[in-house]
Structure 1
Amino acid sequence: MIEVKPKSFESLLSEAITKAKTNNDTQLISMTEEIRKVDPVRFFASARKLSMDRVFWTSTSEQFSIAGVGNAWKVEAEENRTEVIESRWQKLLDEAIVHNPYKVPGTGLVALGGMSFDPSVRKSELWNNFSHGSFQIPILMLTRRASRYYLTTSLEVRGDDDPNELNKWVVQAKEMVMDRTEWLPDSPGINTQQEIAPGQWKDTVKHAADMIKSRDAEKIVLARELRVRLKKDASVASILKNLMAAQPNSYVFAVERDGDCFVGASPERLVKQEDEQLFSVCLAGTAPRGKTDEEDREIARQLLHDEKNRSEHDFVVKMIRKSMETCCDAVYVPDKPVIHPFKNLQHLYTPVTARLQKGYSIFDIIEKLHPTPALGGVPREKSMTYIREHEQLDRGWYGAPVGWMDSNRNGEFAVAIRSGLVQGNIVSLFAGCGVVRDSDPEAEYEETKIKFRPMLSVLED
């Protein structure tokens, strides 16, 4: 990465175009500036005027948000996805011209995107617009960190580009996305809901439980789909706004591809990187919130002592500890979980910290951790084989890593649960549960209904 200190974006353009002409190749440039307050959701909404793919990420509890539009650089991979993406990302970092005096996480060169749950599964028509792995560096990107705001402009230029024309386009595009008065419509409301093959799903749960009793596996996670028809086309910006208000302790995200948008509010961090420090979370074991404080406490107490949920949670803890220890030092995991409450649900929660060893990257951790036992099962290969052969669903990006990484060894990925795929006025919602030897199909079905609530609640009138 070539760090520069240009007088203006136009001068940076001229320098990059000259270099591209000399090398007979394209050249990526990036410039970050601090700006006055812009609401990230309104930025995302205004960006629709540019008719380009948009992306959004926020950790509301940490007052951190990224909203981007366009593709200054994009990489997609259907096979060997982490290797392909990491290789191209590293090559880009070596060659890009960057001006970012702030070094704030989430500024400068930032790639945002995600992956599918299982790249070996043939994609269904539902997920046609989403590759098994896809990341982008936005052309225009807003970063909010606490009370400070940054705008990063990135472009890939050619030797025959006109710097004046490019700069003029950038100025006009900035004016469009920085519209602080952009109106956000209310939720369109739900017209109909259609459960996709609920009877078959319950039969599969029973079949999986019977197989587990024969000791062919310990746990298998099975997901299902609920298809929602809205009264009119969805406004993804409004969904994001509602999710941020309703799920303040979650990662709220959106990744748009050719008009389709994968959006959600996940409570589950997969991994966070700050230089060599890593942070992960074991989140497995679920119960509803109580209607009163007393009922809430009693449900939490039962969850902490429930054998099925504690067993599910222990599966995740053991796997994450083992995965971290292969490429990290100083791995620390508390002995017991605690209750982590959200608006609709509460979960068993155990944090994990570690120090990344030299020679490893965040992609190595993702490869080790995904899929966690909370989304796949135990043992991993047997449970994944069962899911491929019996689950009546192409999960697409549901349950998979989604997040961001920057050029200063910062990044964060969440497990994309509590999520849905928006296609006009149709939203496909996804939820799953862990099947063990004593699982009751009806009880597991009711658990998935609870897990649909966070997304359903923001789509209703």
Structure 2
Amino acid sequence: MIEVKEKQFTAELEAAIQSVHTDQKNKLFSYTEKINPVNLYRFLEKAADLKLPRTFWSSANEDFQMAGAGHAFELSAKDSPSRYEQVEQEWHALLSDAVIYNPYHVSGTGVVALGGFSFDPLKPQTKLWENFPCSHFSIPNYILTHAEGNYYLTLNRFICTDETYAGVLEQLQDHRQTLLNNAENKRDGYVLHIQRKTEIDPEQWKETIKKATDVMKNTAVDKIVLAREVRLHFNQSANIPDILKRLVDTQPNTYVFGYEMGEDCFLGATPERLVKVKDDEVLSTCLAGTAPRGETMEEDEQIADNLFRDPKNREEHDYVVQMIRNTMEAYCTDVNVPFEPAVHQYKTLQHLYTPVRAKLKKNHRIFSIISGLHPTPALGGTPRQEALAFIRENELLDRGWYGAPIGWMDSNNHGEFAVALRSALIQKDEASLFAGCGIVEDSIPESEYEETNIKLMPMLSVLGVD
């Protein structure tokens, strides 16, 4: 810090500690400053050196990135049926007492909570996801934000009544100096290789598809989404910042996320926004209906045209559009939905795409929208409860946070959540990858299996599979 900034910081910290001592109440202190450019991936490496858990978010379209280190405060719901309400109540209680210095009010600065939810809180949790509760959000101790062409550092410290100014100041300054050191960590000979790839019960998964189609022939269920798992074994422990950088570099137009809990990290590059809120402006997007990219421009255009005209994909897409419209109308005004979808192209896949825009009603916030949208028909099925019941009873895996809302919110009333697709749970030298398909009455198991292989490729490619 230059001298003026240093004086500003120490004055704000001293005032915050005085407030804690005067009120005899623990409080969150948050201080944001504009800084010179810092490499976000080296920031994450330095966080590992300090043994601080890491978080990451990148919105490629908006040139917006955040890297977090540490847990200044954690929000977690224990009563799963009301988990959205519990997290929101904890969040607003935390902010009501927080001492915040943030003259910028840029998205991703100030107090920022990053985190997510499990796909289905009623599904028994397995050992695979034991480090990830049904909901968890972290306010990182240190947040490096790249937004609107500038870099910001936010320091968040939960100050207790028995702490002294000198002790808190020393820790914050030491950590800040380490984290903002742009020197590269040397990793001699680090090359990640996949030694073994194991598909988890693929034939039984295809049998589950047959069971789902039989159910749909005899009931009012129209669609059931079924996911499967692939397990990878590496030659060494995976380097999380390296994987995140490769996802950002190779998966344009996606949301790249990483969330570390214990020694596990859930990360991915998802194309599907669930909801974005900026003040009272709301944006949700429907991304349902999938096809591969072509090898030539002509083939690419033909595949896109076939996707646009395909009855199965258009029907699947329309299920999601109508559900999003209905949810938006419950919590918003001025709901705007285009008449028909467009085709959005990504590096390896293309999807049918429809944006939905609206204005948030008073007394509703981002969690109101999330609770109404999750899971969309693209991730669960329709009707929702019947499809979820089938998944809960018959799907061969615990989805954990796969297919669920993951994202962030800040003290500026901004926030964004995506659906955690194209993702992997990294566990040292192993990883579980997940992919799913929307099953309808005439689905062919082998075709759906091949679609999951296409969806697995973005993550497999950054982990070492051609």
TM-score by length of 2: 0.96
| CA distance, structure 1, for counterparts of residue 9 and residue 27 of structure 2 | 14
Q: Distance in 2 between matches of 1:227 and 1:111?
A: 30
Query: What does 1:51-450 correspond to in 2, within 5 Å?
Result: 51-79=51-79, 80-183=82-185, 187-450=191-454
- For the Cα contact (< 8 Å) 1:184–1:238, is it kept in 2? no
* Partner Cα distance (1:89, 1:7) in 2: 30
Residue 159 (structure 1) shift: 2.1
- Deviation string 1:363-392 (CA, Å, 9 cap, x unpaired) is 000000000000000000000000001001
For residues 184 and 136 of structure 1, do their structure 2 counterparts lie closer, same or farther at Cα, with a shift above 3 Å needed? farther
- The alignment partner of 1:383 has SS state of helix
Q: Which of structure 1's runs of 4+ aligned residues deviate more than 4 A?
A: 184-187
Distance 2:444 2:284 in 1: 30
SS of 1:10 mapped into structure 2: helix
Aligned letter for 1:366?
Answer: I
SS at match of 1:85: helix
CA contact (8 A) 1:191 1:229 kept: yes
What is the number of residues matched between the two proteins?
Answer: 457
Pick closer, same or farther for the CA change 1:323–1:203 going to 2, 3 Å. Answer: same
How many Å separate the matches in 1 of 2:208 and 2:218? Answer: 15
Deviates more, 1:331-340 or 1:18-27: 18-27
d(CA) in 2 for partners of 1:50 and 1:202? 45
* Distance (whole Å) between structure 1 residues aligned to residue 78 and residue 418 of structure 2: 21
Deviation at 1:408, TM superposition (A): 1.3
Distance 1:320 1:41 in 2: 35
- Aligned-partner Cα distance in 1 for 2:71–2:222: 43
Structure 2, gaps ≥5 residues long:
none
Offset, 1:42: 2.0
Deviation of the 1:187 alpha carbon: 4.8
Identity of aligned residues (%): 50
Determine if contact 1:46/1:182 at 8 Å carries over to the other structure: no
| Cα distance in 2 between the residues matched to 1:141 and 1:184 | 23
Note the alpha carbon deviations across 1:67-95, whole angstroms, 9 max, x for none. Answer: 01111111111322111110010111111
Higher mean alpha-carbon deviation, 112-121 vs 175-184, is at 175-184
Taking structure 1 as the reference length, what is the TM-score of the superposition? Answer: 0.97
Deviations 1:137-188 (A, max 9, x none): 1111001013200000010112221211221111111121112122486550
Opposite residue 71 of structure 1, the aligned amino acid is H
| 2: CA distance, partners of 1:356 / 1:275 | 8
Q: State the partner residue of 2:460.
A: 456
Does the C-alpha gap of structure 1 residues 379 and 6 become closer, same or farther in structure 2, counting only changes over 3 Å?
farther
Preserved CA contact (<8 Å) 1:42 1:184: no
Q: Distance in 1 between matches of 2:287 and 2:45?
A: 32
SS in 2 for 1:312: helix
Give the structure 2 partner of residue 38 of structure 1: 38
How far apart in 2 are the matches of 1:405 and 1:51?
Answer: 25
Describe the superposition over 1:222-251 as per-residue Cα deviations: whole angstroms up to 9, x where unpaired.
000000111111001011010001111000
Matched position secondary structure for 1:346: strand
Q: Distance in 1 between matches of 2:402 and 2:143?
A: 25
SS in 1 for 2:76: strand
CA distance in structure 2 between the aligned counterparts of 1:120 and 1:323, rounded to whole angstroms:
22
For 1:107 and 1:69, how far apart are their aligned partners in 2? 14
2-structure distance, mates of 1:9, 1:146: 23
